[in-house]
């Protein structure tokens, strides 16, 4: 049987995707860390097939409202990622090693659709090299071990951008797409928004393409212009009625000032890490940023209709996610691949040999990344072969703690703990997350403390004598944890 030219053209990218998936799995260490965003996602995923969505929302609302720093978490995350994760949680339970494979699949799928988007805009070998450069970055490979929403968000965004291209196939215009295609586009944008809220940037990105086309062709077909936006609104309304979540989560101190601060601070850290050069010197960073800016200018000057959405989506998403006070570097993961693409476009604009310069530069970047990935894989193999488990809720010590809490507390009791969402996931107990002793005494029935000072970031330290003086009694303890029952002056 003969293999068609189109199929043969997909072989190289398929090989890259398989290789990236294998590299990702080889960087996964046993267990999962203490950051507990994954815990709420897992509870939401489990609630979908258990039918107790309302309980998850109620429990997490209690955990958030009773923390010393309310609004450290939304009451519930958007349901797009839990929906994708739900069948696998149903199949595998809280087996984080297996569940991380869903993140690997999302990353590989993002790279596949991202490649399809790039192939419409650049030489296919340059596009492949860009995908390889992003896919071999250690920051992304390691992040596949975390059951979080960044990689599904990237996947959903890439699918939507690919669909915009599909609606414009054959050199046509988005404003000439069929009604059904535009409805699908609106629903895809809605799903992006329901994976992460900065996905709202997809609507202005879509509108920017429509605007460029209308200005270019001097016509305004309002019904077709409004169709994807109406589909977005209708889909979001139905989604919200079935699986409610905050459409615009509120965080203390949020605002555009946070974005400006991060542009001068944490965004630099996240950007160079996601480029694969965490120690990149300032001078080289300036060169990279100039390349990215040059690529944006070149593409908007020559092919504004093609790349308007590809510029607007990451730029606006960066602004929206930057408004959140948290400084986590993972929030910019969806933006960096577009920066790499525009840097490659700047290189490709060099006369005559531009495409080959871009392809060689990106391929060289992938090779350099492997010099970091290979040692990490070796370290991971030694870690797993020795039987180690990441410090977190899956260690033997933590499992003993969860068992003790379930045994010695009632389901209605409130337990103070430094990661309450993990506590609720593993024990079904609501909690108080606080480093302030008066808050714990007032609002909790029990207090769990790690005996080693550095084991639990942000927890308060209480000695046995101090606990006794407050009327606390030791319910259970071992070398790692102690569970105290708070005295009668505590929460009744």
Decide if 248 contacts 199 (C-beta within 8 A).
no
* DSSP E strand boundaries for 196-257: none
**Per-residue pLDDT tens digits for 22-65:** 999 999 999 999 888 999 999 999 999 999 999 999 999 998 88
Question: Per-residue b/e over 274-293, b at no fewer than 16 CB within 10 Å?
Answer: bbbbeebeeeeeeebeebbe
**Per-residue pLDDT tens digits for 338-358:** 999 999 999 999 988 889 999
Backbone angles phi, psi at 32, to 5 degrees: -150, 150
**Per-residue pLDDT tens digits for 289-330:** 999 999 999 999 999 999 999 999 999 999 998 888 777 778
Backbone angles phi, psi at 248, to 5 degrees: -140, 85
- Measured distance CA(77)–CA(59) in Å, rounded: 13
In the numeric block, the tokens 């691949």 are attached to 337
Decide if 370 contacts 137 (C-beta within 8 A).
no
* Residue 402 token pair: 């969860």
- Measured distance CA(133)–CA(275) in Å, rounded: 9
* Residue 416 token pair: 């103070």
**Per-residue pLDDT tens digits for 122-140:** 999 999 999 999 999 999 9
Backbone angles phi, psi at 477, to 5 degrees: -160, 160
Residues in the chain: 492
Element (DSSP H or E) covering residue 433: none
**Per-residue pLDDT tens digits for 373-405:** 999 999 999 999 999 999 999 999 999 999 999
* DSSP E strand boundaries for 84-140: none
- Measured distance CA(468)–CA(471) in Å, rounded: 5
Beta strands across the sheet bearing 473-477: 430-432, 414-416, 446-450, 481-485, 473-477
Global pTM value: 0.94
């Amino acid at each position: 049987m003969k293999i068609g030219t189109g199929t043969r053209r997909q072989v190289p990218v398929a090989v890259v995707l398989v290789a990236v998936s294998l590299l990702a799995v080889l960087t996964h260490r046993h267990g999962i860390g203490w950051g507990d965003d994954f815990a709420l996602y897992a509870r939401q995923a489990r609630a979908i097939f258990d039918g107790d969505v309302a309980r998850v929302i109620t429990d997490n609302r209690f955990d958030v409202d009773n923390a010393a720093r309310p609004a450290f978490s939304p009451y519930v995350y958007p349901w797009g990622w839990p929906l994708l994760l739900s069948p696998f949680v149903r199949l595998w339970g809280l087996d984080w090693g297996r569940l991380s494979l869903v993140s690997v699949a999302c990353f590989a799928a993002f790279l596949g659709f991202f490649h399809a988007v790039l192939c419409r805009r650049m030489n296919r070998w340059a596009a492949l090299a860009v995908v390889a450069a992003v896919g071999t970055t250690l920051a992304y490979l390691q992040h596949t071990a975390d059951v979080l929403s960044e990689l599904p968000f990237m996947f959903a965004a890439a699918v939507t951008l690919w669909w915009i291209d599909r609606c414009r196939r054959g050199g046509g215009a988005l404003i000439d797409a069929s009604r059904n295609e535009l409805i699908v586009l609106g629903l895809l944008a809605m799903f992006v928004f329901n994976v992460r809220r900065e996905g709202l940037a997809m609507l202005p990105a879509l509108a920017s393409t429509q605007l460029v086309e209308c200005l270019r062709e001097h016509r305004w077909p309002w019904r077709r212009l409004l169709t994807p936006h109406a589909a977005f609104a209708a889909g979001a309304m139905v989604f919200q009625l079935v699986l409610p979540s905050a459409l615009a989560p509120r965080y203390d101190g949020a605002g555009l000032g946070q974005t400006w601060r991060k542009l001068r601070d944490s965004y630099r850290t996240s950007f160079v890490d996601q480029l694969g050069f965490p120690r990149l010197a300032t001078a080289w960073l300036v060169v990279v940023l100039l390349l990215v800016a040059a690529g944006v200018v070149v593409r908007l000057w020559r092919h504004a209709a093609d790349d308007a959405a590809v510029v607007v989506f990451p730029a606006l998403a960066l602004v929206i996610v930057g408004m959140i006070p948290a400084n986590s570097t993972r929030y910019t993961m969806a933006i960096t691949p577009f920066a790499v693409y525009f840097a490659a476009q700047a290189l490709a604009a060099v006369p005559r040999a531009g495409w080959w310069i871009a392809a060689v530069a990106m391929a060289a970047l992938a090779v350099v990344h492997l010099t970091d990935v290979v040692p990490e894989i070796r370290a991971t193999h030694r870690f797993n072969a020795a039987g180690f488990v990441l410090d977190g809720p899956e260690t033997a010590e933590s499992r003993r703690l969860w068992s003790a809490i379930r045994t010695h507390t009632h389901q209605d009791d409130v337990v103070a703990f430094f990661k309450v969402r993990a506590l609720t996931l593993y024990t079904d107990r609501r909690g108080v997350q606080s480093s302030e002793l008066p808050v714990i005494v007032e609002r909790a029935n029990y207090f769990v403390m790690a005996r080693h000072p550095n084991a639990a970031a942000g927890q308060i330290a209480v000695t046995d004598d101090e606990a006794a003086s407050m009327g606390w009694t030791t319910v259970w303890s071992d070398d790692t944890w102690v569970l105290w029952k708070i005295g009668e002056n505590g929460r009744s």
